């Protein structure tokens, strides 16, 4: 027998099948005599495993097994191992996916603390998160894990800026032995806070600043720093009380804060200027209260201290022109007004045109600068309106075609005799036959339609996430659309615990708990009445269907008679209607939505006429829910995703994991229950009496494991994700072995 070598088959789906069905890259390790035989066996291996798939939609690439090439177990199709690789089209081989940078501010408060304890920095990548996550789920109760717990249970420190939290961590590491637990560490943190209050502040100019921390580059942070400067507080040493006072100064537009901010924002690159340097250079100016109202003197102070600084290359020292004898101030505009005009930041909205000819709008200057850096061009509002209202290329083409004498639906007159003689027949699947212009190919088209209507059967191993497919569609939208959908995407998913199926009321669907939607709105906008609220604009009773009474002949009902008032008018049902204006405030914009709510007030039932005294309350609740749904709250219910059992199962597990992740005990319990379930399924698979039973049992658990694996991968818990992938592969192997054994029993019988 010839010696067998190992070869790796990579099945790479094309972009079309990925977009339609969410197909993934898969691989198989198998034995063959040589590369030629391996390539010949590849299509057969693929169709044997996936009989419903079209091999034309996949690129089958075969390599001889070599170090560095990812592969699974022998003769086992692996759908997970390539998830961490990108496919290089030129080299036609997988490449490891580089670690992606993580935005520190988007992490949860607990994860932020864990990252700072583990790495002492805010600049991290995705491969660094698992180690930090272990500190939040630290079963061994290590010293770093106790530091995380102590800081998390000290809100005044947990709410500080990262630089201050790092100082607290260094203090604890220096003062506490590694055997200390979180209560003792928390006591040391209190001592650290007290030492900050007792320490006298010395002038920053006398300090040896070795490496000034670069500014955040965030306008919101810069505004807060200006408030610190007005208070005389060094931003690097600001405590929780200082932050609270600074926010109060900024929100109330304090006179000193507004004056200094107006002058300082005119300096190019000031957002990236080190905060410690900013504090040192403005310390004397903040003490001079005359500068608050004297714009010229304030600008002169800023130029004297900032112009020509090594970190402000775009803010050079002005050289006076002694050659010109003309007076500089020849207009009637006061000097203060010219200074204010020169230092005022441009206000939106701004308009721009992309290289492709599309137009867009930016509400903030930072967004405009970002799109211009990507090749866009700023335009005026008039140009924006003209370009937006002009007809599209398709409309222009249709108009030109109609002008040439061609028939164009919606433009040409269908009653014109020259068009009546042409009969258009619908052949199905979006294909039409025009007599005299093209041949009818009914048989061919029918076959194509039949092929297109075949729904591909997706086995358990190829389970795809409905929610992930929706997220992928949203991610592919343009940048402006994604910005508009920011609020929608943050509230679109609904926790299944707060839903209820409705049947038997003339409507089959899913109802969302109103208090849950109000809770989500409060989380996003703030308390009802301050961050968001509603105004009742109209409330009235509306007539409904006429009411009637039965007409009897003895004991038999022979008809119905409408009820009328004394003046002959019909007596009708009454429905309570309400119109509200729901308003909300966000960081980017303020908005409002008009919504209606209605509830039957007086109506007829089989038990007689009923009057609902709570109709106004129900109508108001209905109007609030409808208004919030227009903003995207619980959009997955209104989009019909809750009609799909796989989506309900997926989102149920997702919210279960999110809820359990707040407590390590619940996370451990969920994992233990899943392990116990996998153990039970292994026993069931080994005792399965038919191949269909084995596939069905495996498929049910495979879906649940896949949701858990994706949740772990999204949280950066790669170790648990790899563990679940391994268990899933092992379950698949047990299933295949059982099916093979059952097949051999049938043949032997």
Residues 521, 532: contact at Cβ < 8 Å?
yes
Q: What are phi and psi of 321, to 5 degrees?
A: -95, 100
**Could you report the per-residue pLDDT of 165-212, keeping only the tens digit for each?**
999 999 988 888 888 888 889 888 888 888 776 554 444 443 333 444
Predicted pLDDT of residue 347: 62
What would the DSSP string read from start to end of 297-347? HHHHHHHHHHTT-TT-TTSPPPPP--S--S-S--SSS-HHHHHHHHHPPP-
Q: Quick: pLDDT tens for 72-115.
A: 888 888 888 887 788 887 778 888 776 678 888 888 888 889 88
For residues 465-470, give the mean pLDDT: 67
Task: Calculate mean pLDDT across residues 227-239.
Answer: 85
* Secondary structure of 94-126 in HEC code, one letter for each residue: EEECCCCEECHHHCCHHHHHHHHHHHCCCCEEH
* SS (HEC) of 507-529: CCEEEECHHHHHHHHHHHHCCEC
Closest CA to 155 of 214, 62, 243: 243
The tens digit of pLDDT for each residue in 692-706 reads 888 888 888 888 888
| Tens of pLDDT, residues 337-396 | 444 444 445 666 777 888 777 778 776 677 777 778 777 888 877 777 777 666 555 555
Nearest to 429 by CA among 406, 456, 411, 450: 450
The whole-number pLDDT of residue 208 equals 38
Per-residue model confidence (pLDDT) at position 346: 60
**pTM higher than 0.75, yes or no?**
no
Higher per-residue confidence, 618 vs 641: 618
Return the DSSP state at 397: H
Closest CA to 685 of 672, 701, 705, 703: 701
d(CA 513, CA 518): 9
Q: What is the domain partition of the chain in residue ranges?
A: 5-96, 101-198, 204-319+334-343, 350-393, 466-643, 661-748
Instruction: Tell me what the mean pLDDT of segment 704-722 comes to.
Output: 83
Q: For the segment 632-685, what is each residue's pLDDT rounded down to a tens digit?
A: 999 988 888 888 877 888 778 778 777 766 555 666 777 788 888 888 888 888
CA end-to-end span of the chain, whole Å? 31
Lowest mean pLDDT among 143-152, 207-216, 491-500: 207-216
Mean pLDDT of the chain: 78
The pLDDT confidence band at residue 318, using thresholds 50, 70 and 90, is low
Q: In the CATH scheme, what is the code of domain 466-643?
A: 3.30.390.80
Provide Rg for the chain, Cα atoms.
35
pLDDT at 612 over 80: yes
Q: Which long-range contacts (CB under 8 A, 24 or more apart) does 110-114 make?
A: 110/136, 110/148, 110/152, 111/136, 112/162, 113/148, 113/151, 113/152, 113/158, 113/165, 114/148
| Cα–Cα distance measured from residue 690 to residue 709, given in angstroms and rounded to the nearest whole number | 28
């Amino acid at each position: 027998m010839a010696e067998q070598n190992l070869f790796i088959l990579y099945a790479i789906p094309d972009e079309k099948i990925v977009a339609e069905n969410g197909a993934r890259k898969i691989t198989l390790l198998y034995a063959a005599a040589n590369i030629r035989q391996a390539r010949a066996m590849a299509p057969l291996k693929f169709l044997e495993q996936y009989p419903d798939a079209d091999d034309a939609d996949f690129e089958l690439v075969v390599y001889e097994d070599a170090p560095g090439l990812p592969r699974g177990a022998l003769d086992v199709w692996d759908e997970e191992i390539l998830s961490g690789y990108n496919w290089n089209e030129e080299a036609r081989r997988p490449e490891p996916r580089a670690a992606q940078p993580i935005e520190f501010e988007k992490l949860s408060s607990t994860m932020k603390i864990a990252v700072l304890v583990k790495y002492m920095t805010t600049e991290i990548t995705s491969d660094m998160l698992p180690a930090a996550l272990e500190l939040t789920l630290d079963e061994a109760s290590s010293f770093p894990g106790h530091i995380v717990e102590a800081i998390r249970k000290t809100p005044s420190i947990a709410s500080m800026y990262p630089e201050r939290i790092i100082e607290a961590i260094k203090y604890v590491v220096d003062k506490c032995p590694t055997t200390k637990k979180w209560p003792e560490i928390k006591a040391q943190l209190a001592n650290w806070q007290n030492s900050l209050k007792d320490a006298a502040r010395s002038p920053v100019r006398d300090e040896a600043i070795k490496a000034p921390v670069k500014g955040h580059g965030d306008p919101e942070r810069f505004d807060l720093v200006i408030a610190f400067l007005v208070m005389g507080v060094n931003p690097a040493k600001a405590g929780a009380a200082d932050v609270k006072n600074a926010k109060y100064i900024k929100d109330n537009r304090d006179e000193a804060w507004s004056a200094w901010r107006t002058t300082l924002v005119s300096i190019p690159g000031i957002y990236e200027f080190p905060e410690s340097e900013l504090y040192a250079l403005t310390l004397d100016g903040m003490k001079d209260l005359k500068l608050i109202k004297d714009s010229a003197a304030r600008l002169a102070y800023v130029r004297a201290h900032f112009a020509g600084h090594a970190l402000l290359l775009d803010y050079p020292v002005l050289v006076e022109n002694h050659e010109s004898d003309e007076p500089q101030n020849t207009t009637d505009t006061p000097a203060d007004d010219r200074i204010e005009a020169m230092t005022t930041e441009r206000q939106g909205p701004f308009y721009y045109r992309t290289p492709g000819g599309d137009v867009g709008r930016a509400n903030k200057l930072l967004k405009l600068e970002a799109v211009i850096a990507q090749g866009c061009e700023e335009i005026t509002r008039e140009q924006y309106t003209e370009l937006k209202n002009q007809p599209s290329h398709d409309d222009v083409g249709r108009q030109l075609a109609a002008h040439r004498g061609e028939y164009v639906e919606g433009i040409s007159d269908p009653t014109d005799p020259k068009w009546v003689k042409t009969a258009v027949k619908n052949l199905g699947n979006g294909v039409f036959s025009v007599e005299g212009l093209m041949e009818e190919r009914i048989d061919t088209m029918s076959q194509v339609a039949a092929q297109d209507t075949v729904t591909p059967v997706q086995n358990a191993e190829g389970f795809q996430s409905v929610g992930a497919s929706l997220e992928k569609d949203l991610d592919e939208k343009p940048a402006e659309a994604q910005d508009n959908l920011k609020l929608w995407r943050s509230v679109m998913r609904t926790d299944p615990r707060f839903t209820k199926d409705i049947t038997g009321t003339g409507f089959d669907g899913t109802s969302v708990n109103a208090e849950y939607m109000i809770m989500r709105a409060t989380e996003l906008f703030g308390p009802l009445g301050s961050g968001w609220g509603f105004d009742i604009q109209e409330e009235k009773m509306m007539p409904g269907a006429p009411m009637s009474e039965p007409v009897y002949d003895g004991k038999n009902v022979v008809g119905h008679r409408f009820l009328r008032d004394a003046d002959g008018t019909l007596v009708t049902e009454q429905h309570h209607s309400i119109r509200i204006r729901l308003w909300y405030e966000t960081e980017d914009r303020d908005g409002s939505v008009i919504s209606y709510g209605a509830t039957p007030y007086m109506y007829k039932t089989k038990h007689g006429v009923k009057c609902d005294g709570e109709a106004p309350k129900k109508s108001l609740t209905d109007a609030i829910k409808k208004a919030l749904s227009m903003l995207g709250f619980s959009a997955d219910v209104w989009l019909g995703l809750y009609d799909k059992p796989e989506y309900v199962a997926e989102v149920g597990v997702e919210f279960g994991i999110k809820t359990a992740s707040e407590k390590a005990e619940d996370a451990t319990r969920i994992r233990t229950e899943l392990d116990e379930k996998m153990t039970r399924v292994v026993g069931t698979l080994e005792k399965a009496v038919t191949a269909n039973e084995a596939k069905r049992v495996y498929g049910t658990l495979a879906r649940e494991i896949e949701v858990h694996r994706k949740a772990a991968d999204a949280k950066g818990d790669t170790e648990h994700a790899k563990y679940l992938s391994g268990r899933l592969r092992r379950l698949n192997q047990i299933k295949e072995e059982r099916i093979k054994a059952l097949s051999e029993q049938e043949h032997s019988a």
